[in-house]
Amino acid sequence: MRVSVVGGAGGIGRAAVHAVAGFDEVAEVVVLDRDAERGDRLVARIGAKGTFQAYDADNDDLAAMLRGSDVVISTLGPYTRFGRRTIEAAIEAGVDYVDVNDDWAPTLEALTLGDRAKQADVTAVVGMGASPGVVSVLAMRAVRELDTVDELVTGWALAGVGPEEGNAKPSAALIHTVEETTGLIKVTEDGVERMVPPLQTFDLDYPGIGKLDIRTIGHPEPVTLPRVVKGLRRSVNVMSGPNWWFEHLESVAKRVDAGELTVRDAALILEEPVERPADAPPTLRTPTLWAWAKGRKDGCDARVGVGLVKWPVGRMAPATAIPAAVVAQMLLRKEIKAPGVVTPEEVVPFELLMERLDPFYVLPQSVPDLYTVAVEFD
């Protein structure tokens, strides 16, 4: 089978290429990218399975280039610019699709293409990275523990965010962080979608850990999860980490909102290390990726935490790319077949995802299990 990776020579794209090249059912991995030098080096490393095709996203006919593929993985961002045109090309070519879109606005735009995907018998899974993606599936596992759910929070630890070695600065991850912590973001509050300022905090008591330092950030989960989990009063996506770093982030974000800094300049500032204050209290460590649900179980108020406690080798790129790669494998094996444009929480089975991620998620070696589930009653 043939898998095409759009943006395959970038940091996340390279990690996706390496992952799918290791699957037995994949005979060819096509790397589509404008950077021929990096693309050629990449296909040389993966050997006979690799093929490079120069791709100019603004001018080339992507649908024609995708024909003959069995699945396409898109790691080409920003999705505000390239998301719709890439998924439309996959639909036109009749090829199943996975991406790692973590912007809420282009996610909602992609969902409008559902009827076209159904007519083409294409399953398009949007947002199958770390967050959204893995955390979306963790959220559905948390929901299973409760009889009714009022609040659903998806989160990720700041320890996983940072520049990738050898990539241009500022990193795409930090540009995204600035974009989604400035202006207004869309969340679900009081049972309805609202546009609100980011970087808000609220009490969140994680079972077995305690009260966390968290801040809200713009992401797709707060607007996609309520489509599946009915009756939610609150749905937000948050970062967990030290309060002193959040104060630094907030000061930078305010300068962007005031017009004093561009998004790029702000991201460059965030690239620089920040010294931990001598009087900073210890930071409670959370799982690397996690979901938290609050509701009722057996007639009592209860809270549930479900989280990954391991990482793959490398930083953020493999943690984003590998989930997309293993879902591409599920599509190749027909383990997922849901024509239309869908989100991970709709179609990706929790147990199967954990089984496929487990061989990749090996750090720290002293931790035996990939994930934990904790329930506490109030």
Q: Average pLDDT for residues 322-333, to the nearest whole number?
A: 98
Residue 240 within any structural domain of the chain: yes
N-terminal to C-terminal alpha carbon distance within the chain: 51
Residues 61 and 189 in one domain: no
CATH code for the domain of 38: 3.40.50.720
Judge whether 273 and 162 are in contact, CB under 8 Å: no
pLDDT score, position 162:
53
Beta-carbon neighbour count of residue 231 at 10 Å?
A: 10
Under 8 Å between Cβ of 154 and 328: no
Q: Percentage of residues in the chain with pLDDT exceeding 90?
A: 90
The alpha carbon of 311 is separated from its chain's Cα centroid by a whole number of angstroms, namely 14
The reply to whether 196 and 262 lie within a common domain is: yes
The domain that contains 219 carries what CATH number?
3.30.360
Whether 204 and 229 share a structural domain: yes
The Cα–Cα gap between 193 and 256 comes to: 25
| 298 and 176 both lie in a single domain | yes
pLDDT of residue 2: 98
User: Does one domain contain both 336 and 239?
Assistant: no
Q: Within a domain: residue 370?
A: no
Is the same domain home to 319 and 307?
no
Q: Are residues 281 and 160 in the same domain?
A: yes
* Statement to judge: residues 119 and 158 lie in one domain: no
Give the pLDDT band of residue 174 (cuts 50, 70, 90).
confident
The token duo for 96 is 């199943």
Reported as a single tens digit per residue, the pLDDT across 255-311 is 999 999 999 999 999 999 889 999 998 888 899 999 999 999 999 999 999 999 999
Q: Within a domain: residue 282?
A: yes
Let me know whether 348 and 250 are in one domain: no
Range of the domain at 7: 2-129+315-362
pLDDT digits (tens, 9 = 90+) for 228-260: 999 999 999 999 999 999 999 999 999 999 999
Tokens standing for 126?
Answer: 């949007």
